[in-house]
Amino acid sequence: MKDTMNTSDNIIRRAIDGVAPAEGAKERMKKNIYEKAQKAQKQEKKSVSSVRFWKIAMPVAACLCIAVIGAVKLIPTMGQNDPGKITISDNSEDNMQIASPFEEVSSAKVFEDRLGIQADAPKGAKNVAYNILSGNVAQVDFELGGHEYMLRASKSDEDLSGLYGDDKGTKKYDDAFNTQLKTIVIDGKDTYSLTWQKKGVFYTLVNTDGSSVSEMMSVLDVL
């Protein structure tokens, strides 16, 4: 840049010496030439700044594009055809799917063979379905007496009810099997979870469609 300024000064001096006008005109010409030279230098600086800006901006923009594309590929969306699977969609043919934690099995005997757990629907139950949850929980869904029930059994003492609401309290029924009835308020309605233990297995019976306490205890009696 310094060399450019020296060159501009030399050109100005030669131009002034060659023309040799009157003193007043000479000063006006000198001023005009300097203004043009400064304007040219500013334009040059602006061009250099623009080049530097794009040298910095272009890689940043490229990185942002890569980040956005990566985020889109990793956004999980629930599979429309199978609600038990989560599809990670990138609009490509090789979508990856995460399997459901529920494994449907054929009968209660599978629970005994694979988990060492005895759990089955009572006699007379309808629409019975058997599943293994997360590889270690036996689940039996069934209908009885006009209500739908879910029975879960595991060798772990974790909460298997799957109920989330306001805890209204727990009532203990016996010490032999540590039978307890918990009342959970969901959407303003009492929902019941009945738990007990037997031979090292923890059981949970749940109803969410309005079964009474007496009906819950009646189901327990026939399990």
pLDDT tens digits for 81-140?
A: 333 333 334 444 444 556 689 999 999 999 999 999 999 999 999 999 999 999 999 999
Look at the chain and count its residues. Answer: 223
The pLDDT of residue 100 is 82
Per-residue model confidence as pLDDT tens digits over 28-63 = 665 665 565 555 554 544 443 433 434 344 444 444
Q: Where are the domains of the chain?
A: 2-74, 102-222
Per-residue model confidence as pLDDT tens digits over 156-207 = 999 999 999 999 999 999 999 999 999 999 999 999 999 999 999 999 999 9
The residue that leads in pLDDT, 76 or 207, is 207
pTM as predicted: 0.57
The pLDDT of residue 64 is 41
Question: For residue 198, what are its two tokens?
Answer: 């037997």
Q: How far apart are CA 134 and CA 183, in angstroms?
A: 26
DSSP line for 7-30: HHHHHHHHHHHHH---HHHHHHHH
